[in-house]
Structure 1
Amino acid sequence: MKDKQAKWCPELGDFAGPKYRAIVAAMQRDIQSGALPPGTRLPTQRDLAWSLQVNLSTVTEAFREATRLRLITGEVGRGTYVLPGNDAVQLYAIDKGGNHDTIDLSTIVPARAFSSEDLRQSFATLLARDNLSDIMDYPTPDLMQRCRSAIGQFYQPRGFHPRQSDMFPCAGAQAALFAALQWIAKPDLPVLVEELTFPGMKIAARQMGLRLVPVAMDEKGILPADLDRAARASGARTLVISPILQNPTGATMDADRRAAIVALAEKLDLLVIEEDVYGGFTKEPPLSLQLAGRSILVGGLSKLVAPGPRFGFVIPMLEGNEARLPEQNFAIDELVHVTSWMAAPIMLELCCHWIESGEINRHMEWQRQEARTRQSLVRRKLGLPPLGRKPAAPHLWIGAGQDSPFAGLSGDQAAAKARAAGVEIVPASTFCAGRMLSDGIRLCATSPRDRADVTEACKRLRKAWS
């Protein structure tokens, strides 16, 4: 995407206080009004100082404060860019009940497969236990050991066999990500991420004060050359990455891309936090298997089974590398304080039962097939290329451009027209970790209650974008 250069010279007379604060206030106003849209490249500090007739140090201080407030980001050799707003939070605040005619394609959730009878049988098994009262206590050591065994069983089909002592069950994959980041988080810590990153990462960064450093991508994930550049320019030693069915783009690394990223992680001495919540839609092993003891894997069942049980896990695979990796806030075995202690025993018991009984395998296979069927349906209805042999994710990325079903529109414009037509989708600006390099929209084919709603949503989208 070509940079949008702003000839920005705000009028500061309406703002009281020090001049640098007035510049920041004017920037906030113009971002909120749309005068400075996401991805806009600002004038250089020297040029802005000359235009405003203020000292260069005043503009430098204003840019420093605006960076702290996550209004802008500076890239060495490329300039300063307006960041997208924190629209990621809005994904969790969409009123899906306010308008019953709205079809939600915005939230990534599995298709509804568990029937009420399935759940009754699962809970009946739990209620038949002799030590039922244990679920009202903190998780016991026996339950923790059972969870570790279940996580190991969950990963067996993908050829991944982490040590049970390295497994930490927790209350969902987002909690797992928070735990992994808390281990190394420092104010303004630079963290490398895909240029379009998942909303949970943006929320975590905002709450922890982390500075996201975007890395350019293609259909196979992050580009090795840009990872090398971004790491050296920022000094970042932590990379958060989704190698399989990345959210939002669906990018999946092939063997060559995996090998290149693994080699760079070693060369640059990176700690890799691997988000693996979509890996179960494939037979591919996690990238952590190849990272030679320099990764922390986070995952869960929310995208594969159901979000309600809140069953996730953190699997550090450091094997003596702790001293070479970024400075830690606590010992790795203290992760239990921010993971397992926060999980509800009744949900841990339920998910262990599903895994041990094999019920989860049946359910996951159904999810894989339903995701493929619905993806194919959306692609056919919107005139997109067929999926072919690629693995099917619950989500689908549609890039902006001449061949797009919303040709002539930006991702934000396409999303606005979709909303007016009664369909919720998500534009690229929600996922953007820095300046806007790529534009498009993400939709989730498994979110609607049935395939008929998917078909109706596609019909509305085609009409809205025509």
Structure 2
Amino acid sequence: MKETKVSWCPDLAGYDGPIYRAIVEAMQRDIRTGALPEGSRLPTQRDLAWALNVNLSTVTEAFREATRLRLIAGEVGRGTYVLPVNTATSLYAIDRPHAENAIDLSTIKPVQGFSREDVQSRFAALLQRQDLVDVMDYHAPSLIGRCRDAVVKLCQSRGFHPPADRIFPCAGAQAALFAALQMIAKPDLPVLVEELTFPGMKVAAKQMGLRLVPVTMDKKGILPEDLDRASRASGARTLVISPILQNPTGTTMDRQRRADIVEMAEKLDLLVIEEDVYGGFSGLPPLSLQLAGRSILVGGLSKLVAPGLRFGYIIVTFDADSPRSRLMNFATDELVHVTSWMTAPIMLELVCDWIESGAVDEQMEWQRQEARARQSLVRRRLGLPALGRNPAAPHLWVSTDEGSPYAGRSGEQLASLARAAGVDLVSASTFCAGRMLSDGVRICVTAPRDRADLAEACKRLVQAWN
């Protein structure tokens, strides 16, 4: 949804309490009713103060509160805009409703690739151990060390060889993201993100009081020049980025874009938190390999192997005694407490066994092949560009911008038509970190149980959208 210019002057009659609160409540009401659509550019604070016949400081306080509530966001030199409603948390609802016989293409998860025998054999190996009772105790140092070595094994196939003592196992990638953000978290701290960012980041920002600063993207990822602009305008010194198979767009940075972003990160002295949960689908090295000393990598197995494993990790590329660590909430013992100490020893034992035996490598390769086959199926059925030699993600982006087969309609319209046809998708507003410059829907190709269900979903989408 592109920018909409509106002349907004709320009626404050009947409101009690401070005037600035009345302005905020009127804004909430008008956003809810559609009188202030997402993407609308608000009047300047001075113009609104004049129209309401109130002090400029009153409107400034109202805008500050509305910004804190994530109703609006200001961009230096561009104005203040109404943000899309944050629906990211709804994706994590345990009782999220699905219509009867609906096909879910809204949840990114691996194809169910394990047989009953696979799971039984892994548990059987654990049950046969002589020290089985020990897994019911607190973590032994040897278990943490074993987990770190297992993560090193995962990384080496992509040309990344992190020191084991800078690896911290976590109870899933989302827990790893929270641990990474806790190192820099302060109230209203600006954090640079892609203009369409993954839902877990929006949820974390809301819970930790972080202020997201969107950076414009193209088909190769974030634009270096806009990263420069956004950092200088906001004062943000932390960038959260997904360089490989970005969620939701599936974008992967090429060699030149990676080099440009690394150069800009060094120029701006940015801390880069790299979300790498889809990197294993590509075989490409993480960006952190080029960002030694200024990055924290967040990874996990939930999207690559099985969500039930709940195994993630962070890899810190700087020492605890480095100048950067002294500027952060970073101490090795504290980090262990909020990461590895929160994991279940019995789960860590299982994960280590699966990685050491090669079962995880086999499952990841199968998932890569299945994702490629399903991407090709969906792209062919929906008339989207072929995947070619690009790495295959478990999700793909259907743009409604100019040049797309589905241009002229909004992502919300496509998602609504899909729901009516019995297919659940997620529209751009769920991922939007600021003013919506790009629109579309995300399709999770690995969510259905088999390719037949995926083909049926495509059939329904073609009928609904054409």
Identify the TM-score tier after normalising by the shorter chain: over 0.9
Change over 3 Å in CA distance of 1:299–1:223 after alignment to 2: same
Match of 2:66 in 1: 66
TM-score using structure 1 length:
0.97
Match of 1:159 in 2: 159
Amino acid at match of 1:419: R
SS in 2 for 1:391: coil
Match of 1:128 in 2: 128
Which deviations, in whole Å up to 9, do the C-alpha atoms of 1:276-310 show, x marking residues without a partner? 10000012111111113110111000110011110
Match of 1:24 in 2: 24
Match of 1:102 in 2: 102
Q: Distance in 1 between matches of 2:343 and 2:254?
A: 35
Q: Distance in 2 between matches of 1:308 and 1:149?
A: 21
Q: Distance in 1 between matches of 2:334 and 2:444?
A: 36
Amino acid at match of 2:82: V
TM-score using structure 2 length:
0.97
8 Å Cα contact 2:399/2:406 also seen in 1: no
Match of 2:253 in 1: 253
Amino acid at match of 1:458: C
Match of 2:202 in 1: 202
Match of 1:42 in 2: 42
Which deviations, in whole Å up to 9, do the C-alpha atoms of 1:129-152 show, x marking residues without a partner? 111112212221111011011000
Q: Distance in 1 between matches of 2:244 and 2:56?
A: 45
Q: Distance in 2 between matches of 1:326 and 1:441?
A: 41
8 Å Cα contact 1:397/1:442 also seen in 2: yes
Amino acid at match of 2:144: M
Match of 2:399 in 1: 399
Shift of 1:116: 1.1
Shift of 1:86: 1.9
8 Å Cα contact 2:167/2:316 also seen in 1: yes
SS in 1 for 2:157: helix
Which deviations, in whole Å up to 9, do the C-alpha atoms of 1:150-180 show, x marking residues without a partner? 0001111101110000010010000000000
Shift of 1:401: 3.3
Q: Distance in 2 between matches of 1:134 and 1:325?
A: 34
SS in 2 for 1:398: strand
Amino acid at match of 1:391: P
Match of 1:440 in 2: 440
1:464 paired with 2:459, answer: no
Amino acid at match of 1:444: C
Shift of 1:405: 4.5
8 Å Cα contact 2:401/2:407 also seen in 1: yes
SS in 2 for 1:432: coil
Match of 2:187 in 1: 187
Match of 1:311 in 2: 311
Match of 1:380 in 2: 380
After TM superposition, the structure 1 stretch with the greater mean CA deviation from structure 2, 186-195 or 52-61, is 52-61
Match of 2:363 in 1: 363
8 Å Cα contact 1:183/1:332 also seen in 2: no
Q: Distance in 2 between matches of 1:146 and 1:37?
A: 52
Q: Distance in 2 between matches of 1:213 and 1:409?
A: 26
8 Å Cα contact 1:173/1:313 also seen in 2: yes
Change over 3 Å in CA distance of 1:101–1:178 after alignment to 2: same
After TM superposition, the structure 1 stretch with the greater mean CA deviation from structure 2, 269-278 or 129-138, is 129-138
8 Å Cα contact 2:67/2:73 also seen in 1: yes
- Extract unaligned runs of 5+ from structure 1: none
1:111 paired with 2:105, answer: no
After TM superposition, the structure 1 stretch with the greater mean CA deviation from structure 2, 10-19 or 433-442, is 10-19
After TM superposition, the structure 1 stretch with the greater mean CA deviation from structure 2, 169-178 or 46-55, is 46-55
Shift of 1:402: 5.2
Change over 3 Å in CA distance of 1:321–1:27 after alignment to 2: farther
Which deviations, in whole Å up to 9, do the C-alpha atoms of 1:60-81 show, x marking residues without a partner? 1100111111111111101001
8 Å Cα contact 1:71/1:83 also seen in 2: yes
Shift of 1:406: 3.6
After TM superposition, the structure 1 stretch with the greater mean CA deviation from structure 2, 55-64 or 363-372, is 55-64
8 Å Cα contact 1:6/1:42 also seen in 2: yes
Q: Distance in 2 between matches of 1:382 and 1:321?
A: 53
Amino acid at match of 2:105: L
Change over 3 Å in CA distance of 1:138–1:313 after alignment to 2: same
Q: Distance in 2 between matches of 1:68 and 1:96?
A: 27
SS in 1 for 2:314: strand
Q: Distance in 1 between matches of 2:321 and 2:348?
A: 30
Shift of 1:417: 1.4
Change over 3 Å in CA distance of 1:326–1:239 after alignment to 2: farther
8 Å Cα contact 1:271/1:326 also seen in 2: no
8 Å Cα contact 1:398/1:442 also seen in 2: yes
Match of 1:353 in 2: 353
What's the Cα RMSD here?
1.5
Which deviations, in whole Å up to 9, do the C-alpha atoms of 1:51-103 show, x marking residues without a partner? 22222111111001111111111111010011122200111227567534011
Amino acid at match of 1:300: G
Match of 1:178 in 2: 178
Q: Give the number of equivalent residue pairs.
A: 466
SS in 2 for 1:297: strand
Match of 1:216 in 2: 216
Q: Distance in 2 between matches of 1:465 and 1:139?
A: 53
Shift of 1:347: 1.2
8 Å Cα contact 2:191/2:212 also seen in 1: yes
Shift of 1:414: 1.1
Amino acid at match of 2:71: L
SS in 2 for 1:205: helix
